[in-house]
Chain A
Amino acid sequence: MSPLLAVEDLSVSFVRSGLLDRLINPFPLPGFNVVDGVTLSLMPAETLGLVGESGSGKTTLARTILGLIRAAAGRIVFEGRDVQTPADFRAMRRRSAMMFQDPVASLSPRLRVGTLLTEPQVIQGLPMPDRRAAAKALLALVGLPASFVDRFPHELSGGQARRVGVARALAMKPHLLLADEPTAGLDVSVQGDVLNLIGELKRELGFAAMIVTHNLAMIRHVSDRLAIMYLGRLVETGPTQEVFSAPLHPYTATLIRSEPIPDPRRRSHKPAVTGEIPSVFRRPSGCEFHTRCPLVQSRCKTEAPAYRPMGAGRMVRCHFPLQTGGQEREAVSRASANQRGN
């Protein structure tokens, strides 16, 4: 089977700029690579989780894939065809959908839900004899009452706004859904609702999804594969269950161990990592994780590790991946794992 989407060596650079600059210049001049040499692929109907700390470039990567930001280098192949010109991107966007990070802000405040839901089809010039009926059908699809067609976005709760976002994204029967933090700011019970909804619709409609998130506890249950990003580069990819049970990259291990466990009998004794993510404008030499890596060695500071296959569909960017090296490294990783008590 050939991938639905393949991204090869994709880079995006931004000039270092103030907020104002960013607002007036959505396609900034070449400068620092915020996304650097990203290669990944997505099979039809697959769910990929893209995970990393704030500022690691997740949103930028997702927006670049859809052509909302211009790439500095690299290649995007969608359904077997190269996507290069603005017309190619428009054609791709007709077959894909994006759920943005802030759902209420991304819905125009002055339009009613009914209009918002059918707007994309109208813009695409698709025939729609009865807009209200079409909107009501979409609301039913995401489990909201038909009466919501007349509501304004600010009259929705956080969970309801996400549902409208899902309905709007799926109105075009996309082959690809890019969802940026689809559950940020939602309570756990509502988060489950939104993700179950996406899961059900995926099974029914068969689209592929890329879910961008910080939330490891959630992505573990909804993705088939994971891609971990640090400072604009992928540091590890692999099947979700394997990555969680045996992470290869020390950064992945750190993220997993940082997640607080909802059990007072299993308190962590020490943070898994200290310090914070460096700025992309001051990318560390060698391996960029070396400034925070609990297992750093002298080679890491000067020599950048290659992104290499490790078998079983896994890739890692580290000189000394976990779970592989001799006893010494096993001992180190066990010692750091033991920092979490019984």
Chain B
Amino acid sequence: MSGPLAASGLSVRYETPHGSVHALRHVDIEAHPGEVIGIVGESGCGKSTLVTALANLLPANARIDGSIRYNGVDLAKLDAHRQRLLRGDEIALVGQDPMTAFNPVLTIGDQLVDFQHHRKDLSRAQKRARIAAMLGRVGIADAERRMRSYPHELSGGMRQRVAIAAALLTDPGLLIADEPTTALDVTMEAQIIHLLRELRRDYNGIVIVVSHHLGVIAELCDRVYVMYAGEVVEGGEVDAIFHDPRHPYTQALLACDPARFRERLDRLPTIPGALPSLTQPPVGCVYAPRCGRGFAPCKTVAPPLVKLTACHAARCHAVTS
């Protein structure tokens, strides 16, 4: 029952002994079936917080505000039981380290059978047949033998394939991959990118890919949201984000990527300064302490989200449509 996803005015605070961490502030995003959405930004900017909120898996010390609507239903208004059902078979999350997703003492096959617990209509044999087919689809040769393996017997790249297979076995309408290639070598990364791209041919749900790696986002996504210090500072079609970035942070982030330069640079470009504290976020623009373009209102007035085209928007005083 795949359908559109929309978060609006989404904020998340983590309550800690040292005060509350404002990990996410007034975030608006949307995604439609068939789209691959990218979430990009530096470590600590709130990417994982955003997708765990979407998957309804935030830890107990998190306080959430705003709304998340999936296929017309407000997730916050569902009771705990319905939320759990939704999490189990509508929304699937693939993490950075697939080892933690598996139970080390059970075989891959047994675990993948358990992943299909919602399919009461299928016999165990039918479930195993589905698994074998799905493992084949994610590029694992010799699926029967692999089903008898334990997680530690697989390489990192193979575990990530199995994690993707496990996620797809639940027929999710929303597949979220949080840093799916960060723990892998570049050759395996290229293979997983290719796999995710192939899968979208016959998968009609929404895919959300989180990465701090601009190359991965450029290879995979249709639309991209750029995050900085808990906010979405720019969103748009992948081509606009990479070829016509408008927010000063997006521009700086792209300029820093050494992969863009073929000729040797004597100094790599950097972004001077550091992330602001999320315990006391700046009152004005979150990027103001580091922005080279800042002017009078930036330090005191939070910039509005300026719409540039139907789907390109940036949160900056200097941007005009």
Contacts and interface: CB of A to CB of B under 8 A. Distances in A.
Contacts, number: 128
Interface string A221-258: 11000000000000000001100100000000011001
Contacts of B189: 258, 260
Interface string A97-126: 000000000000000000000000000000
Nearest to A274: B191
A192 B272 CA distance: 10
Nearest to B260: A262
Nearest to B191: A271
B157 A259 contact: no
Contacts of A330: none
B157 A276 contact: yes
B252 interface: yes
Range of interface residues on B (Cβ < 8 Å): 35 or more
Interface stretch (A4-12, A35-43, A210-218, A314-322): A210-218
B27 interface: no
A265 B239 contact: yes
Given A259-B259, A260-B216, A262-B218, A189 B185 contact: no
Interface in B234-277: 238-239, 242-243, 252-254, 256-262, 264-271, 274
Interface stretch (B167-175, B207-215, B303-311): B207-215
Contacts of B242: 262-265
A276 B269 CA distance: 33
Contacts of A265: 239, 242-243
Contact of B265 (A187, A221, A267): A221
Contact of B258 (A190, A214, A218): A218
Contact of B187 (A193, A221, A241, A255): A255
Contact of B43 (A187, A195, A240): A187
- Provide the main secondary structure of the chain A interface: helix
Nearest to A188: B256
Contacts of A273: 187, 190
B188 interface: yes
A262 B271 CA distance: 18
Contacts of B186: 53, 214, 216, 255, 258-259
A191 interface: yes
A211 B12 CA distance: 40
A196 B216 contact: no
A157 B258 CA distance: 22
A262 B187 contact: no
Nearest to A53: B185
B218 A214 contact: no
16 contacts: A54-B185, A157-B274, A189-B252, A196-B267, A214-B186, A216-B186, A221-B268, A255-B186, A262-B242, A263-B242, A263-B260, A264-B242, A268-B193, A268-B194, A271-B187, A276-B158
